[in-house]
Every structure is written in structure tokens, then in C-alpha cells.
């Protein structure tokens, strides 16, 4: 946690050695696609997740992970989604501020065999975003079985001091349960309906037990926590710090060196990983450290023994091994500054406050006592007004709270951890609220008018109705 000097200090679970003998699979990278008259066909498929057998999945363009979409800031985004699965389907461009009929609200979900055309200009800051299904009651299942990929917004001028594309590592981290036959298990009932669905295995870009070869150089890891419910506490096994340069809203005001970084479902972080002092054959594990989630009983609390440990929130996991090999004459560097960030919402300009109570209790997930209804408008927010919103968790399960159509500025956190963290600086579209916490954010919609969503990004909570309609007028 933060020390009196404002610095993150060493960690409860330091460098336990990892299993160097275990057979590991090469990290797979998604195919890249420019969203210019692009075709995204979603259909059933199968892949080997690392156990040597084909697991049934839902794939975009038959790829795992789904294709990475790369677009330059200011360019037009155009894509056709074709629904080849047996459910209604709509895709949401998470973190982008698209017009309301382009944003993937579940009221636009199309039936099997139908399609949806997207066309809008990308005005968002350079950064790491993602796309996923937003079908009501089905988002958890669709995401778990493979629908979802990274969406990268580039701005070559602003990013000139950062590692080149050849030294980018786009990484989607997810936890999963696998059956004895090597296929995915998804059965979100009982405790998993309250906790959200967690598993004991970690996938990196869709594969178990992965490794990636790196040169002795600086890499830009673009990391998405694409889990349904699991929170990761990222750290290196060699205890070296990592340089945080971006989060949900793109590049931060300045780089920050950190020993660990928390990422909740739907949050993104960009980390510069420095392997310059690495020697041929060195191995470094990117892992999720053990932590005690604030708020008490979570995860396996209602299960017994080993099951409880395996499915618990805060359980340590090895995520991705880096193997240093080769040589380079151009190892790169850690930048001392990043491009400036104009226009953060100013809380002093707030004209209104709103309060959102997130409650998970007795097999129900609610915001302000209500379950989501497709046609009900829950809040009307004037375009351009600055407001202060409080997200309060008065139940027993953590909620990563996500807002569409804008980015907010995190102001403070009362209760629980009682502070905001370096990875919560700048602009955010998702913020983690643990039991007993109230997080205040400054919000201002300046991109689009229309009907958008506020919801928990624990996908089982969302699917059970922890979501509201926000009308920007």
C-alpha cells in the first residue's frame, strides 16, 4: 500500500520462485485489422487452449484472441459485424466515445444471421481500448468463450518517445475453469453468480501457461484484464519495478515507476517492461500477487477446502513468462515525460451531484435498488455539465464500475482502501469499488448526446441487471 511518502511499498507476497520446468506454450498474438470497411464475423469455432485438445469457443473471424483493431486518432472507423452465433449480438467499443447508435447498447442487439454496420470517427486519445459483446444477459458467456479483442488508438506524434510497434506486447489476461476434457466450463450459479465467475487457470491471449521471447530492451505491454470477475495485482517475479504510462483513458501525464499495479476487469494499463539488463536465458514471470480483498469473505467463502483457494479473489497466479534472448543495438529507453493531457473535468465546476449505490445481496445485483430495464431511463444528464458522481458499494462483492460515452476523473475514495492509486490518475472509464468504499468522480459528457450505460463490469453482475440507462440531453 501507499507509504507516508506517497510511494507504493513492498508487497505481501514477494518473489516466490515459479515453476521453470513446466511446459509452456508460445504467447499468441491476435491478427491485426484496420477498421476500414472491416468485416467481423462472429461464429462458433474451436481452439487448443494449451491442453492439447480443441475447446469449443465463440470466435471473431475465427481468431483467438479476436483481431486487434488499430486505428489512428481522427480516422473513421467502419466495420460490419455479422452475427453467426445462436444468440442476439451487439458489439461495444469499450472506452471509445462513439455516437449512441454506434456504441453497442443492448437495445441494438441483432438476431442470429443478421448484421450491424458501424461507422463513426475516432476522436479518443491514443491508448488501449477493447471491444466485446454487450448482449443483455449474455455478455458474461460471450466474453468468456472468446468474443473480445483489443482496440488500439494511435497517435504517432504523441507516442514518438515510446517503444516502436515491434516492441509492443498486446496482452489480454483472463482467468478460466477448464473441464477434464480441456474445454471451458461456464456455470455461473450459486456462489459464482454472486462473486462473478472465476477460475484457477490463467490465459494470456487465449492460451494457458504462456511464454514470450524478448530482446534485452524496453517493451510496451498493453494489458487488458478481460476476466469476467477476477482482479489481478501485476508484478514481475524479479521484483523489478514497472513503468506505468497509460490507463483506461490513454497516456498519463507522467510515467510512474511501480512495484505492482492492480487491474480490475475491463481496466487497462500500459507498462514499460525493462529487460535491458537481461542476459541470454534469463526468465521473468509476469504474475498476479496474492492479496486480501477488502471487505472480507469473497470468492471461495461458500466452498470448502481446495475449491475455496482455487476460486478465491486475490489468489496468486503466474500469467506470462518472458524469456530473454538475442541481442540488440537499440534497446530503447524509459521516457521522462509524456504528452500533456488537457481538459480533465474540474470538480470545482460541478453543478450537480449524483449518487449510485451498488448492492449485491441475496442473489440480486442492483444500482440504487433497481435492476436494469432496457427501456427505462434512469438518469438524465445535460451535455457539457460537470457533475460529481459517487459510486458506493454497500454489499459484499467488488464492483468495477464502468461508464460509457465519456471518461471521468477519479477524485477520492472513502472507506476501504481510503486513497486513490497512481493507476487511477488521468482519465478512466472503469474504477474499482470494493465493499465499504465510496469513490467520487468528476464526470462531463462532451462527445455525444443519446442513451448510454453505467454498469458494473463484473460480467455476472452486469448480466443480472447491475446496469442503468444514462440519457445525455
**Residue appearing with cell numbers 503466474:** 318
Give the nearest distance from C-beta 313 to Cu ion in angstroms: 12
* Sequence-ordered alpha helix ranges (H) in 231-386: 305-311
Neighbours of 362 (CB within 10 A): 7
Give the range of 83-91, 249-257, 429-437, 453-461 binding Cu ion by CB under 5 A.
453-461
Cα–Cα distance measured from residue 80 to residue 40, given in angstroms and rounded to the nearest whole number: 6
Answer for the pair 398, 255: CB distance below 8 angstroms, yes or no.
no
Q: 467 — alpha (psi -120 to 50), left (phi > 0) or beta? A: beta
Give the range of 20-28, 187-195, 221-229, 451-459 binding Cu ion by CB under 5 A.
451-459
Give the nearest distance from C-beta 90 to Cu ion in angstroms: 21
Give the range of 199-207, 347-355, 367-375, 459-467 binding Cu ion by CB under 5 A.
459-467
Give the cell for residue 230: 477476477
Give the nearest distance from C-beta 458 to Cu ion in angstroms: 4
Q: Which is nearest to 396 in space by CA: 363, 359, 430? A: 359
Nearer to Cu ion, 66 or 468 (CB): 468
Give the nearest distance from C-beta 390 to Cu ion in angstroms: 16
Can residue 458 be called a binding residue for Cu ion (CB under 5 A)? yes
Give the range of 244-252, 392-400, 424-432, 440-448 binding Cu ion by CB under 5 A.
392-400
Nearer to Cu ion, 125 or 399 (CB): 399
Can residue 431 be called a binding residue for Cu ion (CB under 5 A)? no
Residues 399 to 428: which contact Cu ion by CB under 5 A?
Answer: 399
Give the cell for residue 60: 471473431
**Residue appearing with cell numbers 483481431:** 67
Give the range of 132-140, 180-188, 286-294, 456-464 binding Cu ion by CB under 5 A.
456-464
Give the cell for residue 53: 485438445
Among 456, 459, 470, 472, binds Cu ion (CB under 5 A): 456
Residue 102 dihedral angles phi and psi, to the nearest 5°: -110, -5
Give CA angle at 452 (446, 457), nearest 5°.
Answer: 110
Nearer to Cu ion, 231 or 284 (CB): 231
Can residue 461 be called a binding residue for Cu ion (CB under 5 A)? yes
Give the nearest distance from C-beta 229 to Cu ion in angstroms: 8
Residue ranges of E strands in 415-466: 430-433, 438-444, 450-456
Nearer to Cu ion, 66 or 143 (CB): 143
Give the range of 171-179, 180-188, 284-292, 458-466 binding Cu ion by CB under 5 A.
458-466
Give the nearest distance from C-beta 466 to Cu ion in angstroms: 5
Do strands 38-48 and 54-60 pair parallel, antiparallel, or not at all (unpaired)?
A: antiparallel
Give the nearest distance from C-beta 371 to Cu ion in angstroms: 13
Residues 3 to 22: which contact Cu ion by CB under 5 A?
Answer: none
Size of the site for Cu ion (CB under 5 A): 4
Answer for the pair 300, 293: CB distance below 8 angstroms, yes or no.
no
Nearer to Cu ion, 406 or 430 (CB): 430
Answer for the pair 246, 269: CB distance below 8 angstroms, yes or no.
yes
Nearer to Cu ion, 167 or 461 (CB): 461
Q: What is the CA radius of gyration of the chain?
A: 21
**Residue appearing with cell numbers 492439447:** 52
Footprint on this chain of Cu ion (rule: CB under 5 A): 399, 456, 458, 461
Amino acid at each position: 500500500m501507499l507509504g507516508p511518502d506517497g510511494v507504493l511499498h513492498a508487497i505481501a507476497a514477494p518473489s516466490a520462485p515459479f515453476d521453470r520446468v513446466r511446459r509452456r506454450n508460445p504467447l499468441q498474438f491476435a491478427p491485426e485489422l484496420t477498421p476500414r470497411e472491416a468485416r467481423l464475423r462472429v461464429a462458433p469455432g474451436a481452439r487448443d487452449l494449451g491442453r492439447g485438445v480443441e475447446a469449443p469457443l465463440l470466435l471473431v473471424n475465427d481468431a483467438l484472441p479476436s483481431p486487434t483493431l488499430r486505428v489512428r486518432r481522427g480516422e473513421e472507423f467502419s466495420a460490419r459485424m455479422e452475427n453467426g452465433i445462436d444468440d442476439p449480438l451487439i458489439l461495444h467499443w469499450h472506452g471509445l466515445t462513439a455516437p449512441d447508435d454506434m456504441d453497442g447498447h443492448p437495445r441494438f442487439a441483432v438476431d442470429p444471421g443478421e448484421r450491424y454496420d458501424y461507422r463513426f470517427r475516432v476522436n479518443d486519445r491514443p491508448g488501449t481500448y477493447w471491444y466485446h459483446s454487450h448482449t443483455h444477459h449474455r455478455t458474461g458467456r460471450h466474453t468468456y468463450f472468446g468474443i473480445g479483442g483489443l482496440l488500439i488508438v494511435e497517435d504517432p506524434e504523441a507516442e514518438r518517445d515510446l517503444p516502436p510497434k515491434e516492441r509492443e506486447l498486446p496482452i489480454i489476461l483472463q482467468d478460466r475453469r477448464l473441464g477434464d476434457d480441456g474445454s471451458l466450463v461456464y456455470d455461473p450459479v450459486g456462489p459464482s453468480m454472486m462473486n462473478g465467475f472465476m477460475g484457477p487457470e490463467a490465459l494470456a491471449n487465449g492460451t494457458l501457461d504462456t511464454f514470450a521471447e524478448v530482446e534485452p530492451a524496453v517493451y510496451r505491454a498493453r494489458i487488458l484484464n478481460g476476466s469476467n470477475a477476477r482482479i489481478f495485482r501485476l508484478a514481475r517475479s524479479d521484483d523489478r519495478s514497472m513503468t506505468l504510462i497509460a490507463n483506461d483513458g490513454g497516456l498519463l501525464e507522467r510515467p510512474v515507476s511501480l512495484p505492482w499495479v492492480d487491474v480490475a476487469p475491463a481496466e487497462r494499463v500500459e507498462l514499460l517492461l525493462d529487460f535491458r539488463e537481461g542476459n541470454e536465458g534469463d526468465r521473468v514471470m509476469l504474475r498476479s500477487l496474492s492479496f486480501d480483498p477488502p471487505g472480507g469473505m469473497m470468492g471461495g467463502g461458500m466452498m470448502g477446502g481446495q475449491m475455496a483457494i482455487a476460486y478465491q479473489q486475490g489468489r496468486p497466479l503466474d500469467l506470462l513468462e518472458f524469456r530473454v534472448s538475442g541481442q540488440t543495438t537499440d534497446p530503447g529507453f524509459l521516457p521522462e515525460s509524456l504528452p500533456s493531457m488537457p481538459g480533465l473535468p474540474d470538480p470545482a465546476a460541478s453543478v450537480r451531484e449524483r449518487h449510485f449505490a451498488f448492492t449485491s445481496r441475496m442473489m440480486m445485483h442492483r444500482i440504487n435498488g433497481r435492476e436494469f430495464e432496457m427501456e427505462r431511463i434512469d438518469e438524465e444528464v445535460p451535455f457539457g455539465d460537470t457533475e460529481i458522481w459517487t459510486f458506493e458499494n454497500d454489499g459484499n462483492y467488488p464492483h468495477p464500475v464502468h461508464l460509457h460515452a465519456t471518461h471521468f476523473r477519479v477524485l477520492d475514495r472513502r472507506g476501504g482502501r481510503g486513497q486513490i492509486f497512481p493507476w487511477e490518475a488521468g482519465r478512466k472509464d472503469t474504477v474499482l469499488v470494493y465493499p465499504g468504499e465510496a469513490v467520487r468522480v468528476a464526470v462531463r459528457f462532451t462527445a455525444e448526446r443519446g442513451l448510454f450505460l453505467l454498469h458494473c463490469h463484473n460480467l455476472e453482475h452486469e448480466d443480472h441487471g447491475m446496469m442503468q440507462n444514462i440519457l445525455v440531453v
